[in-house]
Amino acid sequence: MPEGEPETPGGHGPPPRNLRTREAAPDVPELYHGEETGRVYRDGRFHTMDPSRPEVSALGIWHGRIVYAGDDPGAAEEKVRSLARAFAGARKGAVCFGGAATGEGSADCGTGPVAPTSSSPSCASSPPSSPALSASSSSTSASSPSSVSSQSSVSSPSPVSRSPAPHPEAEAYAFRADAARGAGIRVETVSLEGRPAVPGLIDSHSHLITEGVRLSQLDVFGKSREDAARLAGEKAAALEPGAWLHGRGWDQNLWPGRAWPHRKDLDRACPRNPTVIDRVDKHSVWVNTRALDRAGILADTPDPPGGEIVRDPDGTPSGVLVGRAMRLVYDVMPPWDGLDPMEAYLAAEREMLSFGLTAAVDCGTRRRDFLMLTDAYRAGVPKIRFKAFMQADPWEEEILGGGPRRGLYGGRFSLDGVKLFSDGSLGSRSAWLADDYADRPGHRGGHNYGDGDLEAVMARIRDRGLQAAIHVIGDAAAEQAVRVMGRVLGKGAPTRRWRLEHLQMVPGTLAREIAALGLIPSIQSVGLMTDLHMAGDRLGPGRLKDAYAWRRLADLGLRLINGSDAPIESPDPFRGIYAACARRDLDWRPAEGFGIGDALTLHEAFLSYTVWPAWACFCDGELGTLSEGMRADFAVLDRDPFQIPVRELHAVKPVMTVIGGSPAWMGAGF
Ligand SMILES: [Zn+2]
């Protein structure tokens, strides 16, 4: 794996830091500049992901890391103060933060370098280098952000220290005390007023810019066909004639007769504007005649490979494009609906932070967006930790050729892997099934790769040391992906942390094969609330028992990672946690639950948003728990999810979201 930042045109940032090897030591640039602040959050009940320590009462933040989590509300503050004193008085050697979470033996562990910790080599040793974000509330704004002007005063890397008896998540954290002479130290306390906090939540599958675009789009989610057309007409009336109208959210499964919509509905409502409305799953679109004309789609236009132009009996396109046929209109539309993609990204970030998310995996990043975001993160603009899986097609060798790059820009930016699309969706009947759709005999959906093609792409991903994440919804798609991954990775498969996105069907022995290869099921439990109204029709009762089989996967010891697939679903992780546990929609339907035997426990649901995705991103030892030495990413909640009925879980709201020890989002009234 090569060193350094991605090449970006016109971008000449600071020299790369070596953050990814076991030998690399943490450099701590914030430490060497001016006044230092150790922030102590106390009087909240912090949920760790360690079942033996379900609650602790306080934690301190030191340079973006958690330095102490103890049972005594006053202990954290005293811990930070004592460390600060030791730190200020030392002339050489290392002060060590670490040890068991009880705080024993962690004040000063000597002066010599010790063996590296056992945590992940990839980003475990990257420093919290971004300046503290200024808080919007008076309760925290007293802390001046540490200015990080340069690293030039760091003469040499600091030794890595090892805590004597850490629990598995803990990581020692050390720095050169001699370089800190004269540093002023201040400790600030922020009371959570008894509110609980949980580790920062991680969305393992999202599309951030598209989510930001979605926030400004016409939304017909849950609407009738007539209301959807009427709302489109209202929005179109405000547009210039000829301007594109792009909306989303329809679902014919909610309509009488469950038939596809028709272009004529939109022709009447939007006579002057080419109109495109994505289905709720974004695997088909509803368009009007103007949009078909702009795309040049006529009666004699053939269906493209992997796509379908739905037609009237006389062969005329009826106004629905499925799968790859959507590209025919997308390709002639302005990108991002004409919005500024950076503004869209920041809008999505604001929304995600307000939901308690502190990291997000972007599944299918495009080149231009990757370069834009590289520059933005280098400049310290976005806050959420961003993890890119580049789209596979077209292959961007310039970016991918150097392999993964993790832990950049204060651990806020990484290039992890490549996202592939194998098939479509059940809702659009474009997922690749081994047998016919129950509600469309003779049809088995579509797929994008033969085994040979897929193997070639996966071998390229493997050879560059990247992670693969492949969209597999149908059983045939999942079986192919597992078969080819097994062939490409061989015995080394479990170390690669490759991912199966969506993984909705695990027939026969597939779950065991996935476990044997150490592949990662990437689920979107929030989507179950949509799918439970449709999946039975598509699959029939026989196959349904092998769908959304989370319990079966978890019982095999697999680490499920959870996400939203935003903009397909809301990125609110508490909806996902609710759906994972309740297996019902927001109206508590069906009453008996949908395959209730495959529900996750609340603890597992939290793991799927914290510990497990941190591991999946090679950030175990960095993210996912409120443990000593971890990055201080957490969300303070308005109620304790472990103390309320399951049916209320979706209503949990964060009041503050903290990344790297600094408030990244504050709710009203905190
Ligand atoms: Zn997706």
DSSP string, 157-183: PPPP---SS--TT---EEEEGGGGTT-
- Using alpha carbons, select from 645, 280, 669 the residue that is nearest to residue 654: 669
- How far, in Å, from the CA of 364 to the mean position of ligand 1? 8
* pLDDT tens column, 522-569: 999 999 999 999 999 999 999 999 999 999 999 999 999 999 999 989
- How far, in Å, from the CA of 217 to the mean position of ligand 1? 18
- How far, in Å, from the CA of 637 to the mean position of ligand 1? 27
103: left (phi over 0), alpha (psi -120 to 50) or beta: left
**Spatial separation of the C-alpha atoms in residues 524 and 507, rounded to whole Å:** 19
Question: What are the residue boundaries of the structural domains of the chain, listed by start?
Answer: 1-200+624-670, 222-337, 422-598
- How far, in Å, from the CA of 399 to the mean position of ligand 1? 21
* pLDDT tens column, 138-190: 222 222 222 222 222 222 222 223 232 222 222 223 333 333 333 445 567 78
- How far, in Å, from the CA of 502 to the mean position of ligand 1? 8
* The 3-state secondary structure of 321-380, one letter per residue: EEEHHHHHHHCCCCHHHHCCHHHHHHHHHHHHHHCCEEEEEEEEECHHHHHHHHHHHHCC
**Spatial separation of the C-alpha atoms in residues 255 and 179, rounded to whole Å:** 68
* Helix 341-354, helix 208-216: angle, nearest 10: 90
Hey, what are 53's tokens? 């320590």
Assigned architecture for domain 1-200+624-670: Roll (2.30)
Give the pLDDT confidence score for residue 282 in this predicted structure. 86
ω into residue 590 within 30 of 0, thus cis?
yes
- How far, in Å, from the CA of 279 to the mean position of ligand 1? 14
Contact at 8 Å (CB) between 232 and 275?
Answer: yes
Contact at 8 Å (CB) between 48 and 102?
Answer: no
Q: What are 69's strand-pairing partners?
A: 59
Give the pLDDT confidence score for residue 239 in this predicted structure. 92
442: left (phi over 0), alpha (psi -120 to 50) or beta: left
Cα–Cα separations (whole angstroms), residue 132 to 202, 360, 590, 658 = 20, 20, 46, 10
- How far, in Å, from the CA of 462 to the mean position of ligand 1? 21
- How far, in Å, from the CA of 300 to the mean position of ligand 1? 32
Contact at 8 Å (CB) between 65 and 41?
Answer: no
- How far, in Å, from the CA of 563 to the mean position of ligand 1? 9
- How far, in Å, from the CA of 304 to the mean position of ligand 1? 21
- How far, in Å, from the CA of 389 to the mean position of ligand 1? 11
Cα–Cα separations (whole angstroms), residue 98 to 88, 187, 582, 626, 627 = 18, 19, 38, 13, 10
- How far, in Å, from the CA of 6 to the mean position of ligand 1? 24
Angle at 328 between CA 323 and CA 334, to 5 degrees: 115
- How far, in Å, from the CA of 126 to the mean position of ligand 1? 28
Contact at 8 Å (CB) between 424 and 445?
Answer: yes
- How far, in Å, from the CA of 402 to the mean position of ligand 1? 24
**Spatial separation of the C-alpha atoms in residues 358 and 591, rounded to whole Å:** 33
Hey, what are 339's tokens? 């919005």
- How far, in Å, from the CA of 87 to the mean position of ligand 1? 47
- How far, in Å, from the CA of 199 to the mean position of ligand 1? 24
Hey, what are 42's tokens? 């106390």
- How far, in Å, from the CA of 569 to the mean position of ligand 1? 10
CATH class, domain 222-337, is alpha beta
- How far, in Å, from the CA of 205 to the mean position of ligand 1? 6
- How far, in Å, from the CA of 212 to the mean position of ligand 1? 14
- Using alpha carbons, select from 588, 590, 618 the residue that is nearest to residue 496: 618
Give the pLDDT confidence score for residue 72 in this predicted structure. 67
- How far, in Å, from the CA of 204 to the mean position of ligand 1? 10
- How far, in Å, from the CA of 207 to the mean position of ligand 1? 6
Contact at 8 Å (CB) between 434 and 476?
Answer: yes
- How far, in Å, from the CA of 487 to the mean position of ligand 1? 25
- How far, in Å, from the CA of 101 to the mean position of ligand 1? 38
- How far, in Å, from the CA of 56 to the mean position of ligand 1? 36
- How far, in Å, from the CA of 206 to the mean position of ligand 1? 6
Give the pLDDT confidence score for residue 6 in this predicted structure. 31
Give the pLDDT confidence score for residue 187 in this predicted structure. 66
Cα–Cα separations (whole angstroms), residue 442 to 223, 327, 434, 435, 438 = 31, 25, 11, 9, 9
- How far, in Å, from the CA of 618 to the mean position of ligand 1? 21
Give the pLDDT confidence score for residue 57 in this predicted structure. 67
Q: pLDDT under 50 in the chain at which residues?
A: 1-35, 89-184
- How far, in Å, from the CA of 343 to the mean position of ligand 1? 20
Give the pLDDT confidence score for residue 257 in this predicted structure. 93
**Spatial separation of the C-alpha atoms in residues 60 and 65, rounded to whole Å:** 8
- How far, in Å, from the CA of 598 to the mean position of ligand 1? 23
**Spatial separation of the C-alpha atoms in residues 621 and 642, rounded to whole Å:** 24
Cα–Cα separations (whole angstroms), residue 18 to 354, 377, 578 = 32, 18, 40
- How far, in Å, from the CA of 559 to the mean position of ligand 1? 19
- How far, in Å, from the CA of 191 to the mean position of ligand 1? 38
- How far, in Å, from the CA of 361 to the mean position of ligand 1? 10
Instruction: Provide the CATH number for the domain formed by 422-598 in this structure.
Output: 3.20.20.140
**Collapsed DSSP state (helix, strand, coil) of residue 135:** coil
- How far, in Å, from the CA of 155 to the mean position of ligand 1? 44
- How far, in Å, from the CA of 529 to the mean position of ligand 1? 17
- Using alpha carbons, select from 466, 306, 493 the residue that is nearest to residue 389: 466
- How far, in Å, from the CA of 565 to the mean position of ligand 1? 5
- How far, in Å, from the CA of 527 to the mean position of ligand 1? 11
Hey, what are 111's tokens? 């002066």
- How far, in Å, from the CA of 113 to the mean position of ligand 1? 44
Q: Indicate the pTM of the whole model.
A: 0.76
- How far, in Å, from the CA of 251 to the mean position of ligand 1? 18
**Spatial separation of the C-alpha atoms in residues 79 and 40, rounded to whole Å:** 10
Angle at 296 between CA 292 and CA 302, to 5 degrees: 95
- How far, in Å, from the CA of 518 to the mean position of ligand 1? 22
- How far, in Å, from the CA of 363 to the mean position of ligand 1? 6
- How far, in Å, from the CA of 385 to the mean position of ligand 1? 18
- How far, in Å, from the CA of 187 to the mean position of ligand 1? 43
